[in-house]
Amino acid sequence: MNVKRTYGLTTAILHSDREKPIEHGALHKPIHAGVAFGYRDARDLAQVFQGKQAGFRYGRQGNPTVGALEDKINTLEQGAGTVCFATGMAAIAAVATALLRRGDHVVASAYLFGNTHSLWESMAGKGIDVDFVDTTRASAVEQALRPATRLVFTETIANPRTQVADLARIGALCNERGILYAVDNTMTSACLFQPRNAGAGLVVNSLTKYYAGHGNALGGSVTDTGLFDWRGFPNLGEPSKNGPASGWGLAQLRAKGLRDFGAALGPEAAHHIAVGMETIALRIARQCANARALASMLAADPRVKAVYYPGLATHSQHALAAQLFADFGALLSFELDEGIDCFDYINRLRLGVAASNLGDTRTLVIPVAHTIFYEVGAQRRAAMGIAEGLIRVSVGIEDTSDLVNDFQAALAD
């Protein structure tokens, strides 16, 4: 049964585990807690170590439960292969450290997730040049390219101001120049957007967010879409070039990124993420509908100064978002009128929970400048368009009217 070709996204996820025989006919891939894998014939163990036979060696480098999750994500992201990590940051750090070396140049989005921005700044201190550019314009990316550019890295919808990257045009540019193009698809997930269709060679996901979906597991992944030609990539070691060229990048990510840095996804977290994924399409449909309703209510209220949501016709990249994505996502941010304090407003909410994280089933609200973007300082916040009173909302799956009423009632003090 090849569920990838025949069925839709939810059907494919639900029946993916049954593509391979599961112990006792269990409908979920079991949680394999074992770290070591025994072989009757020691020669088989050697074959596995030499990459000549499929199999597991040691928990840090792969696990059957994690492997089943990798297959699911790979199906969703139309990949040639996927490798999972302990967190989304571990997945991004693996791309940065396993595939780049001193003297390389990276073009990254100026609107990255805060910790990703911080990671690229650390890499800059280790001899990798990084330019942060406005990826809503492919021309800004083009102007930043140099002969030493090895990677272009962007997100789909930026958090918290919801800028939308010009994903397909950047992809065309990278493919024309033979540059590796990595897209962090966390904000959209494969439900709303498949970066492979925009020419991405690598797709990064924080599984912690929409994939797991319930705020109960950390995880990350890198998918190789098969579009990038690794034969022209100068940073691969000989051991990574064992099999066909299409697998070279992922082989190096698995060895240098996962094995050597050691941020392996645990089997229990993999199980939570796999169960969460079964309802991703249902959750995201509801979350997008709720976000749209909430954004419309806020935009129509005179006590709200600005609303940032790609689904609003007033959003700078509304047309681009409509072209690229199946829906406009479930994250929005807004600024209140001068007279309303953002802390007081959040404290008046009964359903919106003051909490970090996003992609949870519950609606989560955070005063951006005072929390997740506190460390970067006022100057960079201003440059990123983050007002001191900006409130970010990760919209959950609550009943729509309850949510809209809650956010409206809190406007009155």
Ligand X SMILES: *Cc1c(COP(=O)(O)O)cnc(C)c1O
Positions that interact with ligand X (CB under 6 A): 87-89, 113, 116, 155, 159, 184, 186-187, 206, 208-209, 218, 220
Nearer to ligand X, 154 or 240 (CB): 154
Minimum CB distance to ligand X, residue 38 (Å): 32
Minimum CB distance to ligand X, residue 121 (Å): 15
Question: Following CA atoms 142, 145, 147, 150 in sequence, which dihedral angle do they give, to the nearest 10 degrees?
Answer: -110
Cβ–Cβ under 8 Å, residues 262 and 118: no
Angle at 204 between CA 202 and CA 209, to 5 degrees: 160
Comparing CA positions, the residue from 364, 158, 189, 219 lying closest to residue 281 is 189
Minimum CB distance to ligand X, residue 233 (Å): 23
Minimum CB distance to ligand X, residue 116 (Å): 6
Minimum CB distance to ligand X, residue 328 (Å): 16
Nearer to ligand X, 48 or 353 (CB): 353
Nearer to ligand X, 80 or 112 (CB): 112
Minimum CB distance to ligand X, residue 307 (Å): 20
Class of residue 389 by CB neighbours under 10 A (exposed 0-12, middle 13-18, buried 19+) = buried
Nearer to ligand X, 16 or 186 (CB): 186
284: tokens are 């995201």
The CA distance from 108 to 17, in Å, is 36
Minimum CB distance to ligand X, residue 341 (Å): 27
The CA distance from 176 to 192, in Å, is 26
Nearer to ligand X, 104 or 360 (CB): 360
Run of H or E residues at 346: helix 342-348
Distances (CA, A) of 329 to 5, 65, 165, 192: 26, 29, 14, 8
Residue nearest to ligand X (CB): 88
Cβ–Cβ under 8 Å, residues 123 and 115: no
305: tokens are 């100064």
What is the DSSP secondary structure assignment for residue 235, as one 8-state letter?
A: T
Nearer to ligand X, 157 or 236 (CB): 157
Cβ–Cβ under 8 Å, residues 361 and 353: no
User: In Å, how far from its chain's centre is CA 138?
Assistant: 21
Nearer to ligand X, 236 or 269 (CB): 269
Minimum CB distance to ligand X, residue 139 (Å): 24
Nearer to ligand X, 87 or 225 (CB): 87
